[in-house]
Structure 1
Amino acid sequence: MFWFAYFWLVLRYTNKFLMNAAIDIGNTKAKLGFFKENELVAYKAFNELKELADEIKKSEVSKVIISSVREDDESIKKILDLREDPFFLNYKTPVPFVNNYQSPTLGLDRIAIVAGAQTLFPDQHTLAIDLGTCITYDFLEAGIQYHGGAISPGMHMRFKALHNFTARLPLINPAQQVDVIGNSTENSIQSGVVHGVSGEIRAFINTYKEKYNPLNVIITGGDAKYFESKIKATIFAIPELVLVGLNAILRHNASI
């Protein structure tokens, strides 16, 4: 992509555009985002951490924040071999919102998503919906009070569950267009899963709006693009919300 190549040329030959780097290491891919203050200026995904390490060494960054669900901190530092130690997000990291969640097992991706929602909509009610392996709903009241939300099975998990926990139902992939009335077993599964997820999302949005209005709604995650046109509600699709949140947490900790 031309714009990405141009960005690297600018970054390599001038020192006045030093960026922050946010790294989200998931179960299958690692994502790298470069930020100038709160603006995401470049993004790339990698299958291997070594590829990410090679890419980041081409740049001039001031600070790096990392969230990982796969590797431990020391292994990541060894693989990336950065000039300075990165900042690792963990459950004790200070965040720019009030965390009222009562369990210490709140996922790092959910922490970052809430911070990202706060960055995009400060002082406003926001519901962030992550459409990934699981579907998570995270609510931020008035841009400061995080109360929690909900977790349910994601779309692909539902397809797999119908196949794995029955004797004869096939494992299928989501179609682009799905009728409400299925005229075959395969089409009935498509309808149940896809329209079930869509209906669930709309119900959560409407329930929150009954109590917190006006309400901003953000969708993110791997299946966000698939459901963006199916939800039939005013939403903001922000694919890299986790990276936005990681950068916000990095900036927050640099100021305290």
Structure 2
Amino acid sequence: MRNLIIDIGNSRIKSAVFEPKGLVGDHVFDSLETALEFWQNMDFDHCLVSSVRFEEEDLRRALPFDFLFLNHSTPLPILNGYATPKSLGLDRIAAAIGAWQIAGKGPVLAIDLGSCVTYELVDELSIYRGGAISPGLDMRARAMHEFTAKLPRISLKEKPQSLTGDSTLTCMESGVWYGLEFEMKGQIEAYRIKFPEIRVFLCGGDAQSFVSMAKDHIFVVQNLVLFGLNCILNHNVE
């Protein structure tokens, strides 16, 4: 079985092809028109589309093939214990399911480092429990600039050379970077106390910046959301 997974975000469109052996290819597009040119030449058995930009009806008219459209009513391979499931971002539950599927069981913690940092827990009973949401690297840096009179706008993708800054700029860089790193380590350690066997998966645009955190129980899987979407598709077609 060959699956096409399409994840349409606010600015970019990601797609991936999965076979029973796993991920065999992924691509990123700037527009639906460019993506369509690519998908029309593909051979696949099933397709799932997750979209925050287009409604299902619009995509039914635009795409020349059938697909499963992910929404809050789509059956999932795990139980959803979230108190407000209709408000749950579909990318969040997909990341959680991706971590759970790769690990083979819970407990797992998926950490998605994007504009916001989201923490998603699936427990040992394979129940999604929720987690936490906090500002990402760029949002932290932008907030200090926009909510103060004199602090500059900083942008960083690499770990500062020193924990102790020796200028306003390097102090801000240290605060943003290590604030997030120590937050993640604190979250992971707190979950490990409750779930000693927990495995942690990092994903998202800033995940590679924290690859140094990877160790025996922490893994960086850049396409974790796509893995989760593929698992959801398989659950619905098998």
TM over 0.5: yes
Query: What do the CA deviations read for 1:37-70 (whole angstroms, capped 9, x no partner)?
Result: 2611000111111111111111111111011111
Structure 2's unaligned 5+ residue stretches are: none
Classify the secondary structure of the residue corresponding to 1:218. Answer: strand
How far apart are residue 191 of structure 1 and its match?
0.3
Q: 1:38·1:248 contact (CA, 8 Å) conserved in 2?
A: no
After TM superposition, the structure 1 stretch with the greater mean CA deviation from structure 2, 21-30 or 226-235, is 226-235
8 Å Cα contact 2:114-2:205 kept in structure 1? yes
Indicate the residue corresponding to 2:74 in structure 1.
Answer: 93
The alpha-carbon distance between structure 1 residues 134 and 99, as it changes in their structure 2 partners (threshold 3 A), is same
Deviation at 1:177, TM superposition (A): 3.6
- AA matched with 1:148: G
Superposed counterparts of 1:122-133, under 5 Å: 122-133=104-115
Identity among equivalent positions (%) equals: 39
Q: Is the 8 A contact 2:93 2:120 kept in 1?
A: no
Tell me which residue corresponds to 2:134.
152
**Residue 77 of structure 1 aligns to a residue in which SS?**
helix
2:151 aligned residue (162, 169, 174): 169
The answer to whether the aligner puts 1:139 opposite 2:121 as a matched pair is yes
Q: Which one of 96, 100, 103 corresponds to residue 121 of structure 1?
A: 103
Which AA in structure 2 matches 1:44?
Answer: H
1:136-184, Cα deviation, whole Å (9 max, x unpaired): 0001112611111111011111011111111111111115241211111
Aligned residues: 236
CA offset at residue 228 of structure 1?
1.5
1:118–1:143 CA contact under 8 A, matched in 2: no
The offset of 1:196, in angstroms, is 0.2
Are residue 40 (structure 1) and residue 23 (structure 2) matched? yes
Q: Is the 8 A contact 1:99 1:145 kept in 2?
A: yes
Task: Kindly indicate whether the alpha-carbon contact (under 8 Å) linking 1:205 and 1:217 is maintained by their aligned counterparts in 2.
Answer: yes
Q: Out of 188, 198, 204, which is 1:205 matched to?
A: 188
Residue type of the partner of 1:159? A
Query: Is 2:73 the partner of 1:105?
Result: no
Distance in 1 between the 2:67 and 2:120 partners?
A: 27
Counterpart CA distance in 2 for 1:55 and 1:174 is 34
The whole-number CA distance in structure 2 between the counterparts of 1:196 and 1:27 is 27
**TM-score normalised according to structure 2 size:** 0.95
- Aligned equivalents of 1:48 and 1:253: distance in 2? 28
Which deviations, in whole Å up to 9, do the C-alpha atoms of 1:189-231 show, x marking residues without a partner?
1000000000000000000000101110000000000012157
**3-state DSSP of counterpart to 1:176:** coil
Cα distance between partner residues in 2 of 1:41 and 1:175: 28
Letter in 2 for 1:126: V
Q: How far apart are the structure 2 equivalents of 1:235 and 1:86?
A: 33
TM-score where L is the length of structure 1? 0.88
In the TM superposition, what are the counterparts of 1:1-256 in structure 2 within 5 Å? 19-37=2-20, 39-79=22-62, 81-83=63-65, 85-103=66-84, 104-142=86-124, 144-178=126-160, 179-230=162-213, 234-255=217-238
Secondary structure in 2 matching 1:213: coil
CA contact (8 A) 2:156 2:173 kept: yes
- Matched letter for residue 153 of structure 2: L
